[in-house]
Structure 1
Amino acid sequence: MGQVTSSTQHTQHQSSSSSPASCPVDHSAFAKHSQPSSSCPVDHTSLAKHAQSSSSTTSCPVDHSSMSRASSSAPAQCPVQPETLDPRNHLPVLTQDRAPSQTIDLPTERTTSSIPRDAAGQWEYPSPQQFYNALVRKGWETPENEIETMVEIHNFLNEKPGKKFKNGRRKSTSVDEKLQLVRFKGRPGQLSPKARFWLFAGWLLPDRFNTEPPFDRHDWVVRRPSTGEEVRYVIDYYGVPPLPDGSPVFSLDVRPALDSFGSISMRVRAATREAWGKMATEATHT
């Protein structure tokens, strides 16, 4: 009778071995060494009650009810908030403070450009100190004694597009007014469709077309104050072989983006003028 009881309990132990409430006693060994009247020393009744009242072993140890009550007042947010960018140029506010690793003092004076920002005045270029802080922020290692020269080149390259779209607008309309640069964005590494086309042409005919991509790209949004019309210009900056004296030379491709019928019309008129001008020059030389 005792052996039958022990055998039955052993079978139940095998079928429920994954349960945390299984009997810890090896019933098979117990049955071999016990007398027929012996029984398991573990109270299986209380063990079963404990198994019914306990939760799964894979339950989360955190009290979710209290956690949900504590967090119900505010949604979860990322503790790292993105820095505020100036919507006009998509850049953070650059300080005039020295960088931690900086070894020499850099000028903090800013140069006023010839490019109108609004009716109140023109845009200001960053100072050498602000320019250096921007390079440090991007992780670019640049000799500090070359920063002022880099700022001069930067300002020179940004003056050229202003003159180009100003001349283009004067040719396309009889109204002479100061266009305003509302906002702009640097997009280095993002090739425009036109730049991709010329790269493909250079791949096909490397002896005739440029095979180097532009080293920089800007998108400028220009406003005409009399009508409030805004036109986006795409500017690709190319480097060309330097002059014999070593002076750097740059080539800028400035044109309206194909965002509207007016911009498309401007592009067509500009291309027509350029083609006629080239034909007239060739005819003169012949």
Structure 2
Amino acid sequence: MASREANAAAAPAAATASTSGGGGAPPAGVSAAAAAAAECPVPAEFRQQVYRNPAVYNVYNQRINDPAAAAGGGSGPLAGQDVLDPSNMMPQEPNQQPCPGQRKLLSTDRMQSNIPKGGTDSTWAYPSPQMFFNALRRKGKGDDVSEDDMEAVVFTHNTMNELTWQQVARWESLHYSECGMPTLLRFRGRPDELSPLARLSSWLGGPLPFDRHDWYVDRCGREVRYVIDFYFDDDKAGSPEAFDIRVRPALDSPGAALDRAKMWIYQHFAEYGLPCPVTGHPSTMGGAAQQAAAQQQAQAQQQQQQQPSAS
């Protein structure tokens, strides 16, 4: 089983791969309903009715289909690492060769996520075990992670991202009338920067997150930023409660503050079985906590089942 450091490098990497790759079912622990809600390609009725940001980004938060950059030939240390395939306008397959010192061959198969990718009709693709192993070595991380751990590490990474998107989609449901199919446009890892909420929590004696990401959602032409803190409890390692994902819209606008207030009211009314105070309709959030716990339990069971093949 991978250590906390491996999990910290793996779990919240936010689909650390470009968008090419094969299809696949959502990782265990992700409900069928949530997977269906996040499926791509975008339904025709939404694709035809709403504006979408045409930009396509790579995992380095760089736009890779910018006509101006293409005309200039590109520049910078990462230029050319993501090249669009003209047949489908998706990034071509990255290098998946074994890294120096690698002892065993790793799978190069990639699973397609259920997270719709901004600027395309497809979804973000998760890294293969080989890609993830290469990334850890390139960044000087995961010294205690071996080739035998990679299947479990990638599984955890994928499942955490699916659960994160579920939470983002839940927030976006507050704006369903204006955008029925939001997409994840780009993301940025900020592991060395505490969010205001994480800093306040630590001042009050709470734990520090092991990672932070900002996800930028395309809400039918409007870019919206979400702040995501990832926590890991060493005392609960191996249990479904070990990971905690805290997602909320960044306070970049009065609308984001209003969304936070709305969600707080909806959640607390739902906890007591009360109808929505605005519409009077029965709450659809009452079982959210139980559903999340069940999903994490399924995730833990799947990991345990995979351990013999990864050892």
Which residue identity is paired with 2:200? Answer: F
Counterparts of 2:99 and 2:110, CA distance in 1: 18
> In structure 1, the residue corresponding to 2:225 is in which secondary structure?
strand
Match of 1:188 in 2: 191
Structure 1 residue 189 displacement after superposition: 2.5
> How do residues 122-271 of structure 1 correspond to structure 2 at under 5 angstroms?
122-140=123-141, 141=143, 142-174=145-177, 177-202=180-205, 211-225=206-220, 228-240=221-233, 241-242=235-236, 246=239, 249-271=242-264
What percentage of aligned pairs have identical amino acids?
A: 39
Structure 1 residue 248 displacement after superposition: 6.2
Counterparts of 2:239 and 2:265, CA distance in 1: 35
> In structure 1, the residue corresponding to 2:248 is in which secondary structure?
strand
Structure 1 residue 271 displacement after superposition: 2.1
> In structure 1, the residue corresponding to 2:236 is in which secondary structure?
coil
Asked if the contact 1:94–1:133 (Cα under 8 Å) also holds between the matched residues in 2, the reply is no
Counterparts of 1:104 and 1:269, CA distance in 2: 51
Deviations 1:9-67 (A, max 9, x none): xxxxxxxxxxxxxxxxxxxxxxxxxxxxxxxxxxxxxxxxxxxxxxxxxxxxxxxxxxx
Match of 2:46 in 1: none
Structure whose alpha-carbon radius of gyration is higher: 1
Counterparts of 1:250 and 1:105, CA distance in 2: 29
CA RMSD of aligned residues (A): 2.4
Structure 2 vs 1, CA of residues 184 and 171 (structure 1 numbering), >3 Å: closer, same or farther? same
Asked if the contact 2:114–2:124 (Cα under 8 Å) also holds between the matched residues in 1, the reply is yes
Counterparts of 1:154 and 1:102, CA distance in 2: 21
Counterparts of 2:239 and 2:164, CA distance in 1: 24
Instruction: Specify which structure has the bigger relative contact order, considering alpha-carbon pairs within 8 angstroms and separated by 6 or more residues.
Output: 2
> In structure 1, the residue corresponding to 2:201 is in which secondary structure?
helix
Match of 2:100 in 1: 100
Asked if the contact 2:174–2:259 (Cα under 8 Å) also holds between the matched residues in 1, the reply is no
Q: TM-score, normalised by structure 1?
A: 0.59
Asked if the contact 2:201–2:207 (Cα under 8 Å) also holds between the matched residues in 1, the reply is no
Q: Report how many aligned residue pairs link the two structures.
A: 184
Structure 1 residue 151 displacement after superposition: 0.5
Match of 1:23 in 2: none
* Stretches of structure 2 lacking an aligned partner (at least 5 in a row): 1-75, 83-92, 275-311
* Stretches of structure 1 lacking an aligned partner (at least 5 in a row): 1-80, 87-92, 203-210, 282-286
Structure 2 vs 1, CA of residues 100 and 217 (structure 1 numbering), >3 Å: closer, same or farther? same
Match of 2:68 in 1: none
Counterparts of 1:255 and 1:188, CA distance in 2: 17
> In structure 1, the residue corresponding to 2:215 is in which secondary structure?
strand
Structure 2 vs 1, CA of residues 169 and 268 (structure 1 numbering), >3 Å: closer, same or farther? same
Q: TM-score, normalised by structure 2?
A: 0.54
Match of 2:265 in 1: 272
Structure 1 residue 157 displacement after superposition: 0.8
The list of structure 1 runs, each at least 4 consecutive aligned residues, that deviate by more than 6 angstroms after superposition, is none
